[in-house]
Amino acid sequence: MSGTSLYLSGVGARARLTQLEMLANNLANADTTGFKADSALFQSVLETALEDEHGRKVGGGLAFVATGPGHTNQEQGPILSTGRALDVAIEGPGFFQINTKDGVRYTRAGSFSVNAEGQLTGPGGHPVVGAGGPIRVPSGGATIDAKGRVLAADGRELGRLSIEEFFEPEKLVREGESLFRAPIDQVGMPVDDPHLVPGSIEQSNVQPAHEITQLVILQRAFEASLQALEADDAASRRLIEEVSS
């Protein structure tokens, strides 16, 4: 049974380590505009699946914990007023669209800039997708209003932000820089009447106090798993020495 307990201790330590890595990343991005917190999902796995005489799976065997796919919390973060002309936050559902070399990506980070070519850009310097294509900003600058219209200093409409929402936004795949990729089973739907807050940004939805508390708890659990692993390893060595002597 020592080999089994050794294995289970190792699986438990690995699961805690995965949680610790996610929590550390959340805390590192607590001040990142539009960042969404991750959490680990775990599932019970049957080490040995038994079969009956017809080859059908039946109950039995040893269950242990394995790390499943991560879960991204897509709840809205606090909205912070910046007074900056090209900052805008989405209040409610929806994502800004960003055009990257790998295709369209989605973000809640609405702190936009203008690149050397005069294009409105988002996270990572990637061009923003407008309702009619790329949005170009003249040297006189521009502002973004509550309807997502990008307006020149003289009031001309330069373009309109293209905003889409998803039925299951938690299934979007994180790609860094507060960008997400839509998997093949998720299709974006245009938000015709978005609720935007000009001159503001959506802050990270990470709750530092909660994450730090969880970090302390998990560190202790991880240390306990390592201690169990060391104890099982020592017991295995003693058994081998007794058998071989």
Band of the pLDDT at 46, cuts 50, 70, 90? very low
Q: Where are the domains of the chain?
A: 2-74+206-244, 79-202
Per-residue tokens: 13 = 């330590």
Q: Higher pLDDT residue, 8 or 195?
A: 195
Calculate the alpha carbon distances from 56 to 35, 43, 49, 52, 218 in Å: 45, 22, 10, 5, 38
- Phi, psi at residue 35, to the nearest 5°? -70, 145
DSSP class of 171: G
Mean pLDDT of 2-13: 58
Contacts for 59-66 with beta carbons within 8 Å, 24 or more apart? Answer: 62/4, 62/8, 64/7, 64/8, 64/11, 64/12, 65/11, 65/12, 65/15, 66/11, 66/15, 66/42
Residue 8, pLDDT score: 57
Band of the pLDDT at 45, cuts 50, 70, 90? very low
3-state SS record for 144-157: ECCCCEEEECCCCE
- Percentage of the chain with pLDDT > 70? 79
Least trusted range by pLDDT, from 83-87, 119-123, 180-184, 221-225: 221-225
With 80 as the cut, is the pLDDT of residue 5 above it?
no
Band of the pLDDT at 1, cuts 50, 70, 90? very low
Partners of 181 in beta bridges: 173
Band of the pLDDT at 44, cuts 50, 70, 90? very low
Residue that has been written with the tokens 């708890």 in this structure: 217
With 60 as the cut, is the pLDDT of residue 184 above it?
yes
- Contact 162/190 with Cβ under 8 angstroms? yes
Q: How far apart are CA 174 and CA 147, in angstroms?
A: 27
Residue 47, pLDDT score: 45
Mean pLDDT of 81-89: 97
With 70 as the cut, is the pLDDT of residue 66 above it?
no
Calculate the alpha carbon distances from 181 to 5, 38, 99, 196, 209 in Å: 40, 15, 11, 22, 29
Per-residue tokens: 206 = 């990470």
With 90 as the cut, is the pLDDT of residue 203 above it?
yes
